Amino acid sequence: MAESCNTYCTADERPPVEKSENVSAIIPHPQDIGYDVEFVEENIKLEGITCVICSLVMRSPIQAHKCGHRFCAKCIEKYHETSDGIVCPFDRQPIEIFKDIGREREILEMKVYCKNRPQCSWQSELRYFEDHMKECLFETIDCDMNCGIKVLRSDMRNHLENDCLVEFPCQYQSIGCLFTGSKRSLTEHMVLSTNQHLLFQMQHEVRKVKQDFDEKLKAKDLQLRILGERLKTVEGEIVVLRNEKKKMSAEIKTKNDKMNQLDAKLIELEDLVEDNQLKNYNKLGDMAKAIDGLKVENQKAVAKIDTFSHPFILKIDNFDEQFKQAKTQNNIIRSRPFLCLGQYKGQLKLYLNGNSNGIGTHISIFFCLIEGPLDDMIEWPMKWKKCTIELIINDTVIGSHILRGVNENFKNFKRPTFAENETGKRGPSKFVDHKDIPHIIRDDIVTIKFEIH
């Protein structure tokens, strides 16, 4: 176990890794574990830069919170895939991990030698090490042609040209040359077999020209057969068209004769229509005069209507029963339609259990305009000054409300349309408080008195 949270241990001080945690089993690909390098600077302390798991210089270092141990990112990732929970592989304690960017920068700035020294004299920062190894001429690599031999990168070209055992086919294989051999023998073959390759090429071109000619000839034969069949079909169609032409010519002559007859009839009808239009114009003039006279008479009749606003009385029978029903069903009581200001048709809407902000506590009452028989002959919007509403119980006014006209263009006063049937509503949503209604009502009748000026 580690002695303290911030203590870094050398490789000799670490406990042995259990067999089930063998590094090669945890990290199967060497490029995923730490860097196996030789530093230029001597006597570097490795305990702060080596991985607890692979014991190499850390790649993408990760530090554990609390215990402070550090690992390669891939090493600790693979370790946790084979262990239960996120624990430190050194002291088996639960940990939290984070990327140690500062330590990574320090490691990458350290100078290292090439693995192939002393043959290669390269030395630079660790961050450039792997890029160099991909180009180092002294690195031993597999043959590019996978012949199974490993050679220095600097010797690859000579190996491929002189020693590689992989056989290459002749580039003229596709046109008949059957030679295969090493790169050196292939070069000699290309020099010695020039005439044979030219012959192969000529034979190939001849075969190709003959094949193209045969294919084009077959296409032409097919085209001729198709054209011959099409010609027979067209000849048959021509015969049919000639017969149809004769038939159509006869029909056209018949239709022309009918057209001439219709033209004569049309001229006759136009003369008749012209005479009737003149007569209709005279009749329309007489009708217009008659309509104007009716409008004047209607206007006089409307003007004679008494515009004095008599009070409208709405009596509510069985008030107690209707009041109880309204508490559960929120019923609406509508008055019979009546004329107000002598010309406009209106209606009262009564909510015994309230409407809007008066629900459950007050009686609400509203006045609205509805379609009337004189709507075409009266002025819109309706002009009014004051509206008075009273609720009377036992000959006593329990509640009253006065509305005053402010904006005659307000939508409630516009003419009702067929779609709307009524133009909104105006009135108090808190007309009479339920608490003000007497418990005993004579004849169980409540009266609403409405008057508008």
Indicate if the alpha-carbon torsion angle 44, 50, 54, 59 is positive or negative.
negative
- Asked if residue 129 lies in contact with residue 37, where contact means CB atoms within 8 angstroms, the answer is yes
Question: What burial letters (b/e) apply to 310-339, b meaning 16+ CB within 10 Å?
Answer: eebebebeebeebbeebeeeeeeeebeebb
- Distance between CA atoms of 17 and 40, rounded to whole angstroms? 30
Question: Out of 3.40.190.10, 3.20.20.80, 2.60.40.1120, 2.60.210.10, which CATH number does the structure's domain 312-452 have?
Answer: 2.60.210.10
Per-residue tokens: 66: 């609390």
CATH 3.30.40.10 region(s) of the chain? 27-135
Contacts of 359 (CB under 8 A, 6+ apart): 330, 353
The residue among 273, 346, 278, 254 whose CA lies nearest residue 309 is: 346
- Residue 32 has a pLDDT of 67
Per-residue tokens: 338: 């009546």
SS3 per-residue string spanning 328-348: HHCCEEECCCEEECCCEEEEE
- Asked if residue 396 lies in contact with residue 339, where contact means CB atoms within 8 angstroms, the answer is no
Question: What amino acid is encoded at 434 in this protein?
Answer: H
Residues of the chain with pLDDT under 50: 1-28, 305-308
Region for residue 129 given its phi and psi (left: phi exceeds 0; alpha: psi -120 to 50; beta: otherwise): alpha
Question: Out of 3.20.20.100, 3.30.40.10, 3.30.2130.30, 3.40.190.10, which CATH number does the structure's domain 27-135 have?
Answer: 3.30.40.10
Supply the DSSP string of 201-229, one letter for each residue.
HHHHHHHHHHHHHHHHHHHHHHHHHHHHH
* DSSP state for residue 87 in the 8-state scheme: B
CATH 2.60.210.10 region(s) of the chain? 312-452
Write out the H or E segment, with its range, that includes residue 30.
Answer: none
- Residue 411 has a pLDDT of 52
- Asked if residue 33 lies in contact with residue 74, where contact means CB atoms within 8 angstroms, the answer is yes
- Residue 1 has a pLDDT of 30
